[in-house]
Amino acid sequence: MNDVVLARLADAGHAAVRTPHGAVFQFLDKEGSTVSVLAARAGVTKQAMADLVAHLEQHEYVTRIPDPSDRRAKLVLATPAGREVMALARATVPEIERRIAELIGERRLRQLREDLALIIEGSWTGAGESPLHADGDR
């Protein structure tokens, strides 16, 4: 699945975006997120997230601005190119779902969606709020 998304991104001129960068785009709030928040949501170290953000910033997919609520912190924001990457990735989902349905059928695809939703929600039980829902809609 990642190969399909990466191929679409490369075709659109975004070859600098690789699979690990999805952790930044997936958890990035519209109004910006700190590296610490992104790292916590993605379940990676702050240093690992900082490296991913630095790469994306170098390639102009994100920018960092001062956090108005904490002068010591910086918010990571998607640039127009970063928003294009997110839109392209989202637009690829129907194609991926169609390919999966061709392999396993519509009924099993529906069941797979339900099972994955249970896994995502259940994996955070007792460990605090899921980072997928920590700050409401993104």
pLDDT at 1: 74
Q: Where are the domains of the chain?
A: 2-122
* Percent of the chain predicted with pLDDT > 70: 88
Closest CA to 87 of 43, 40, 25: 25
User: What single string gives the DSSP state of each residue in 46-105?
Assistant: HHHHHHHHHHHHHTTSEEEEEETTEEEEEEEEE-HHHHHHHHHHHHHHHHHHHHHHHHH-
pLDDT at 42: 93
Query: Is the pLDDT higher at 20 or at 129?
Result: 20
Give backbone dihedrals phi and psi of 87, rounded to 5 degrees, phi first: -65, -40
Contacts of 46 (CB under 8 A, 6+ apart): 35, 36, 39
Contacts of 101 (CB under 8 A, 6+ apart): 109
pLDDT at 136 over 50: no
* Percent of the chain predicted with pLDDT > 90: 77
- Over residues 34-93, the pLDDT tens digits come to 999 999 999 999 999 999 999 999 999 999 999 999 989 999 999 999 999 999 999 998
pLDDT at 18 over 60: yes
CATH of 2-122, one of 2.40.160.10, 3.30.1330.30, 3.40.50.300, 1.10.10.10: 1.10.10.10
Its pTM stands at: 0.78
Angle between helices 80-104 and 2-11 (to 10 degrees): 140
DSSP, collapsed to helix, strand or coil, labels residue 33 as strand
d(CA 37, CA 138): 13
- Over residues 107-126, the pLDDT tens digits come to 999 999 999 999 888 765 54
